[in-house]
Amino acid sequence: MTPMFATQLFALAALLFALAAFIARRQATVRRALPVDRSPAKGDAQRGVLYAFTLGMAPWAKESTRLHPVAYLRGIAFHVGIFAALGACALSLWWETFPPFMRGAFAIVIGFGALMGLAGEAMRWTEANLRALSTADDHASVWALTVFMAATSAALIIPAGLPIMYITAGAMLIYAPLSKIRHCIYFFFSRRFFGVFIGRRAVLHTAPQGLSRGLK
């Protein structure tokens, strides 16, 4: 067994563990009660959900992101980097068939994501609120993802770094379902509940007159 193959196996095993753990988590949450809302709707729940996952995520949609566009963009770049790195890692066996500019583009996006991870970690230490709020798990989660992105970006440029990428991917994937990183699955629950709330109650989208009084 070559070192490369061993690290690939490790990453694959970690991926299977992460997928199984995430699915188990999701199922455990789905098994919990989902309250049935019996109050007559004023607006459209589906419209609210659509908004929550689209325009509701836009930087201008919330006062908080309007006030802190840099923090918002840092977060976006960080998460884009994570998903690009996961995609790149999954396709790593076929990298040689990629045109050089494509590998370069991936390396830049993922590398920038890693830099944004470092920036995020710096913010957690320097900003008083974040410092007070952060747990060791928060720091470890950011580091796990940042190191994984950095290794993936480097491996895209220097193929000899592939084993390191697989090791960091494996470590991150094992840690993910045990840690704060698992918020990725709850994002979908939370935004959907928020969307249903604002949609049914017509909080952000005014119901037509008449409907607004629940009279029709």
Partner 1 sequence: MTTTTIETALQVLEKQLNQPLEAALEVCARCGLCAEACHYYQAEPSPENVPATKGEQLRGVYRSEHDFLSRIFPAWTGAEKLTEEKLAAMAEMAFSQCTLCRRCTFNCPMGVDTPLMMRTIRAMASATGNAPEILVMLADAAIEKGNDPSFFRDMFVEQMADLEKELQAETGDPEARITVDRPGAKVLYVPLAGTHTILPPAIIFEAAHEDWTLSIFEAANYGVFLADTAKAKQIAARIVNEAKALGVEEVVLAECGHAYAALRWEAPNWFGETFPFKVVSLIEKMDQYITEGRIKLDPTANAERVTYHDSCNMARTGGVIEEPRRVLKAATLNFIEMTPNKAEAWCCGGGGGLVALPEYNERRLKAGGPKAEQIRRTGAQVVVAACENCRLQIGDLSRHYGLPVEITALADLVVKAMRLPTTSDHMQAIFESDKAKVKVARN
**Which spans of this chain sit near partner 1 (rule: CB under 8 A)?**
29-30, 32-40, 42-43, 52, 57, 62-65, 67-68, 71-72, 75, 127-138, 140, 178-180, 182-183, 186-187, 189-191, 193-195, 198, 201-204, 206-207, 209, 212-215
Angstrom distances, CA of residue 44 to CA of 41, 107, 189, 208 = 7, 42, 18, 11
**Spatial contact of 182 and 22, defined as CB atoms under 8 Å apart:** yes
CB of 158 to partner 1, least distance (A): 32
| Cα–Cα distance measured from residue 117 to residue 170, given in angstroms and rounded to the nearest whole number | 18
Smaller CB separation from partner 1, 1 or 67: 67
C-alpha 83: how far from chain center: 7
Whole-number Å distance between alpha carbons of 14 and 142: 18
Return the number of the residue (3 or 135) whose C-beta is nearest partner 1. 135
Nearest distance from residue 62's CB to partner 1, in Å? 5
User: 12 or 71, CB closer to partner 1?
Assistant: 71
Measured from the CB of residue 85, what is the shortest distance to partner 1 in angstroms?
Answer: 18
The residue (of 151 and 202) whose beta carbon lies closer to partner 1 is 202
8-35 core/surface letters (b: 16 or more CB in 10 A; e: else): bebbeebbebbeebbeeeeeeeeeeeee
Q: What is the nearest approach in angstroms of partner 1 to the Cβ of residue 168?
A: 19
**Tokens at residue 41, please?**
């709707």
Kindly give, in sequence order, each residue whose CB lies less than 8 Å from that of residue 216, ignoring residues fewer than 6 positions away.
210
**Smallest separation (angstroms) from partner 1 to the CB of 163:** 27
Q: Which is nearer to partner 1, 5 or 189 (CB)?
A: 189
